Structure 1
Amino acid sequence: MSGRGKANLQRTLSWFLTIAMFSAIFFPVLFVGSYEVYRQYQKEVIIGPEQDAKALFVVLKKGLIAPLWSYTPENAKDLINGVALNPAVEAVIVKDATGEVFSAFSRDVLGEESDRIHLVSDVFFEEQVIGSVDLVFNYSSAKSLVSAYAIQIILITLFQLVVIISIILLILKYRVTEPLRSLKRFATEVSKQHFDSPSPEVKNREFIELADELDAMRTALHSSFTELEEKVEQRTKTLRDTNLELESALENIERTQETLVQNEKLAALGALVAGIAHELNTPIGNARLVTSSLREDARSLKHLSEEGKLTKSEFEHLTSDISDATSLIERNIAKAVTLIQSFKQVAVDRTSDRKREFSLNGFVADILSTMHHITKNTCINIETELDEDCELYSYPGTLSQIIDNLVNNAVLHAFEGLQLTKEMPGVIVISTQVSEKNVSISVSDNGIGLTRDVQSKIFEPFYTTKLGKGGSGLGMHIVHNLVNGPLEGQIIIKSKPKQGTTFVLTIPKQLSKQPDDVAI
């Protein structure tokens, strides 16, 4: 709970106790005072004036018999003046038997008509009407007295309440509020982990027990915090050691992955060398065979010439064979030279990894010339569907490694389980599509296709469907990294089971040129 919440709680408790005490005193006093005012009102306004008026009226009726009978107005006047000593008497009118005013008294008394009691009666003597008396009794003064009395009661009650509430507040302050504040300050210090704060000094038994409990809580919290700090320190040390181990393991993994990537590149280069060696074997073997035949023809020509047995027809026949042999040697050597040049360019690009300008279609042709050994003795054909030629400024070595990996991946996996024949071969198509700023290179096949699960994982490192069969699981991961990294492009896969697979890589025609492009 925040400091403001605690202050609100304390203020609420103080006000609650104050209001409770005030209510416990005010409402009983209010009830008693109200009842007393009501009782006084009934006595002085409702019942008292009527009783007083009737009593005075009876006195007048009896007292006026003699003056009316003896016709002595002076005596009547004295009686009336005596009755008028009551300030509530507003008027007294006495008439004789003829209706003439015999004696009268009146005075101005403020008040409303409803505050007046009007009594009229005949005066009898020996059952004979000898006159009449009219009394007007005004009890507005009684109401004023009751009002003053009520005000007095209210003032006395308020004074009593102020005194009592003041006493209660003082008691609450020194017996409740101050101890609570002291306990609150102690709890606040404990919450700030100031465990050396002195215990609060309180007097009441309940607060002493609460202070003891808070002190016990402080001791327990101190112990818990100490244990927690030790555990946190120990776990921090453990986490630090674990992080160091993980960093070391990550470095090892990165080094291992880098080594595997380099091995993959070297393996691809080794396969390229093996393929070129295999391709060179045919023209060089043919040239060697023709060279042997040419040597025999040369020996025959020399032998016949030395013996003088060389005829014109034999000479023409031998020279014709020698000419054909030299032509065949030239064609095979030219083929070998072409293969060597293609291999040299591809090998240089693979090993240097430098940017340079090159023709897209010529680049694809060079790559194909180094791939014949991959599909030799198989029922798989590699075809091309090339768009118009264009010049690229990019990394040819990186691009050739990507295409080589995609084609090898298709040869190894795309036709697995299919019965291929010369009439119904497997087909791998390398196609290009040129736009204004980019070029798209697709490698597609008509093989077994890929499931969604394989497609979602194919670019992950170490994922392979040939686990334990020589597959490293890095080929497609390397392709993905090279396309998205140095080539600044992207690669997507389109495939459905039994409908073949197409890899489409889109790269910019021109990478940014630097004053001195270095190896990546």
Structure 2
Amino acid sequence: MSNQSPAIKGVDVQDQDGGLLPSKRKTSLQTFLVIVVFLSIATPAVITGGLLIRENYQRTIAHESQAAAGSYADLLQAGMTMPLWNVAPSLGEPLLDTVKIDPSVLSVIVQGADGETFLLYEKENLEPREESIEMVRQISFEGEKLGSVALRYSLKSARQRAAADSQLLLTIIIFQLIFSLGVVSYFLRQRVIKPLVALERAAVGIAGGDLKTAIPQLQADEFGGLSRQLEIMRGSLEQSFTTLEDRVNERTAELVELNGELQGTLDKLQQAQGNLVQSEKLAALGALVAGVAHELNTPLGNGLTVASSLYDATRNFTREMQAGITRAALDQYIADMEEGTHLVVASLERASELVSGFKQVAVDRTSAQQREFNLAEMLNETRMTLSPMFKHTPYQVRIDVPERVVLNSFPGPLGQVVTNLLNNALIHGFDGRDHGEIWISAEQVNILAEPGVRIVISDDGNGIPPENLGRIFDPFFTTKLGEGGNGLGMHIVHNIVTGVLGGTIQVNSALGEGTEFLLTIPLLAPVSPIEEEGKGD
């Protein structure tokens, strides 16, 4: 027996060499670990880098711009003292030309003490909403206020420098993240993912039933310890599987032998059941013969008695003729002969009718052929065959069936069903009772939109205990074991009704209230196996 067994569901991907590949779950694990590590590195880097970029941006704009503007304002404050003191703008223009070289200087306004403009500079093509800061310095000399200088300084260049610095810093941070992610991914794959993949391949092979799968030898770390434990487990499983395989083979051989014995026993039981069923049929046929003898006894006995009387009367008439007969004696003889022959003919006709009826019942019981028959006539003939069973008992069988009910079915099997049910009532239902009645009624019904008939056979007997109600149709179930019961009568009833007749049978019963059997069968019986065999022959 091979060590291979069906692969575990969900692990059925194979490579080109036919080996099982690990499922995509490991890729998910690698992605998960990379994401976790990346977030662990990237989150602090992004936060700190963002704060650093923001600080650098604010410092470049605020501090550097204000420092440059303040330097120019201080320079102008000091340089414009003498021009304002001497009221000589030409002395201040060289300084103003020096300051306006810086493109970030948008305007310079030098005013005297009276507020009048002393010197003025405004940058050409100035954008109306350009962002800027303004610095104002008061100019005085020896405690006397000479005027003031106001300088507007643009923040555009500062923002451009801050953006460039921030972009450079962001590029450095991204490069660091990519480099860190690559290094972490490399070592993560070498020290975690690859060992896991190797162990998973081995685990898939073992799970698939290949206990000879080699467990990889890994480094002396946690995965190495796990691989050694897996190797120990694989060896134990292989040994246990080999032992189990031997035990399974032994047990299989025992089960095969036992199954053969059970099959032989079953064949014997089926043969015994067949013999019992045949015995049941022969018993029913014996009851039929007894019924024939009983019913024929009366008309034949009456005919024999009348014939004997006519024979004696004829002999007496012969003697009287030899001695001389009177007119009155002749008339009496003729009247006796007419009455006697009428009685003999009536008795023989009754016997002939009985023989015809019993012949039809016998043919139906033995051949089980499908034909058209009247239900009421069939039930009356069946009751007639069972008359010896009920003759010396206080029990009565009453039939109330419409004459118009005609079936195209199997009268023989149906008669056997009625016989078994009546016999069951006589043996079990009326056991220990000094009176009892059995009613047989029928009505036409529809069975799945097809015409049918429901036959009700009920009695006022002992009833069936609840614990036995669900078992009465089981083969070999009887409460009269050892007293002549074989437990097949009701089983045969169920098989005939549901099989040959194509119907259903139900039972309702309560202790002390009697039993009711409901047979629902179609007016046109289905084709039975017997009919099919007959057609095939």
Q: For the superposition of Structure 1 and Structure 2, which TM-score range results when normalised by the shorter chain?
A: 0.7 to 0.9
Residue identity in the other structure for 1:263 = S
1:47 aligns with 2:47: no
Correspondences of 1:426-445 after superposition (within 5 Å):
426-429=436-439, 443-445=457-459
CA shift in 2, pair 1:204/1:71, >3 Å: farther
Per-residue CA deviation, residues 149-176 of structure 1 (Å, 9 max, x unaligned), is: 2222222222333333333333333333
Residue among 140, 153, 162 paired with 1:123: 140
State the partner residue of 2:474.
460
1:433–1:439 Cα contact (<8 Å) kept:
yes
State the partner residue of 1:134.
149
1:451–1:497 Cα contact (<8 Å) kept:
yes
1:90–1:137 Cα contact (<8 Å) kept:
yes
Per-residue CA deviation, residues 345-400 of structure 1 (Å, 9 max, x unaligned), is: 54454334445566666555544444332223332344544533777655444344
1:290–1:328 Cα contact (<8 Å) kept:
no
Residue identity in the other structure for 1:418 = R
More divergent stretch after superposition (287-296 vs 393-402): 287-296
State the partner residue of 1:423.
none
Per-residue CA deviation, residues 8-32 of structure 1 (Å, 9 max, x unaligned), is: 5433433344334434444444455
1:175–1:204 Cα contact (<8 Å) kept:
no
State the partner residue of 1:15.
31
Please give the secondary structure, in 2, of the residue aligned with 1:121: strand
CA shift in 2, pair 1:183/1:497, >3 Å: closer
Per-residue CA deviation, residues 310-353 of structure 1 (Å, 9 max, x unaligned), is: 6869x969x969x7898699479737666666555544543344
More divergent stretch after superposition (205-214 vs 108-117): 108-117
Residue among 380, 387, 391 paired with 2:402: 387
2:437–2:460 Cα contact (<8 Å) kept:
yes
Residue among 463, 483, 489 paired with 1:475: 489
Higher RCO, 1 or 2 (CA under 8 Å, sep at least 6)?
Answer: 2
1:183 aligns with 2:203: no
State the partner residue of 1:402.
417
Per-residue CA deviation, residues 49-92 of structure 1 (Å, 9 max, x unaligned), is: 44454455444444444455456666544555555676655554
Measure the CA separation in 2 of the matches of 1:472 and 1:170.
84
Measure the CA separation in 1 of the matches of 2:514 and 2:468.
14
Measure the CA separation in 1 of the matches of 2:536 and 2:410.
10
Correspondences of 1:75-224 after superposition (within 5 Å):
76-80=92-96, 89-94=105-110, 107-108=123-124, 114-125=131-142, 127-129=143-145, 131-140=146-155, 141-200=157-216, 202-203=218-219, 205-224=221-240
Deviation at 1:261, TM superposition (A): 1.1
CA shift in 2, pair 1:137/1:225, >3 Å: farther
More divergent stretch after superposition (89-98 vs 411-420): 89-98
1:273 aligns with 2:289: yes
Please, which runs of 5 or more residues in structure 2 have no aligned partner?
1-8, 14-20
Aligned length, in residue pairs: 507
Please give the secondary structure, in 2, of the residue aligned with 1:118: strand
CA shift in 2, pair 1:182/1:109, >3 Å: farther
CA shift in 2, pair 1:72/1:229, >3 Å: same
Residue identity in the other structure for 2:494 = H
Measure the CA separation in 1 of the matches of 2:525 and 2:208.
62
Deviation at 1:259, TM superposition (A): 0.9
Q: TM-score when scaled to structure 2?
A: 0.72
Deviation at 1:265, TM superposition (A): 1.5
Residue identity in the other structure for 2:487 = G
Residue identity in the other structure for 1:468 = G
Correspondences of 1:59-78 after superposition (within 5 Å):
59-69=75-85, 76-78=92-94
Measure the CA separation in 1 of the matches of 2:351 and 2:34.
112
CA shift in 2, pair 1:216/1:297, >3 Å: same
1:418 aligns with 2:433: yes
Measure the CA separation in 1 of the matches of 2:137 and 2:279.
139
Residue identity in the other structure for 2:269 = I
1:377 aligns with 2:387: no
Deviation at 1:481, TM superposition (A): 2.5
Measure the CA separation in 1 of the matches of 2:315 and 2:137.
187
Measure the CA separation in 2 of the matches of 1:171 and 1:473.
81
Please give the secondary structure, in 2, of the residue aligned with 1:209: helix
1:440–1:507 Cα contact (<8 Å) kept:
yes
Deviation at 1:417, TM superposition (A): 3.7
More divergent stretch after superposition (245-254 vs 59-68): 59-68
Please give the secondary structure, in 2, of the residue aligned with 1:134: strand
Measure the CA separation in 1 of the matches of 2:413 and 2:176.
102
Measure the CA separation in 2 of the matches of 1:511 and 1:43.
106
Measure the CA separation in 1 of the matches of 2:361 and 2:84.
161
1:490–1:506 Cα contact (<8 Å) kept:
yes
1:284–1:332 Cα contact (<8 Å) kept:
no
1:387–1:434 Cα contact (<8 Å) kept:
no
Residue identity in the other structure for 1:387 = P
Measure the CA separation in 2 of the matches of 1:338 and 1:221.
85
Measure the CA separation in 2 of the matches of 1:116 and 1:386.
121
More divergent stretch after superposition (115-124 vs 379-388): 379-388
Measure the CA separation in 2 of the matches of 1:20 and 1:510.
79
Per-residue CA deviation, residues 117-143 of structure 1 (Å, 9 max, x unaligned), is: 231423223x334x3241415152334
Measure the CA separation in 1 of the matches of 2:101 and 2:405.
138
- Aligned identity (percent) is 35
2:443–2:454 Cα contact (<8 Å) kept:
yes
1:484 aligns with 2:498: yes
Measure the CA separation in 2 of the matches of 1:62 and 1:267.
147
2:502–2:526 Cα contact (<8 Å) kept:
no
1:351 aligns with 2:366: yes
Deviation at 1:446, TM superposition (A): 4.7
CA shift in 2, pair 1:433/1:109, >3 Å: closer
Per-residue CA deviation, residues 386-431 of structure 1 (Å, 9 max, x unaligned), is: 53377765544434433333333333344334334xxxxx444555
Please give the secondary structure, in 1, of the residue aligned with 2:500: coil
Measure the CA separation in 1 of the matches of 2:461 and 2:267.
39
Residue identity in the other structure for 2:133 = R
Please give the secondary structure, in 1, of the residue aligned with 2:141: strand
Q: TM-score when scaled to structure 1?
A: 0.74
State the partner residue of 2:5.
none
More divergent stretch after superposition (438-447 vs 116-125): 438-447
CA shift in 2, pair 1:403/1:519, >3 Å: farther
Residue identity in the other structure for 1:264 = E
Please give the secondary structure, in 2, of the residue aligned with 1:485: helix
Residue identity in the other structure for 2:499 = G
Please give the secondary structure, in 2, of the residue aligned with 1:251: helix
Measure the CA separation in 2 of the matches of 1:44 and 1:361.
119
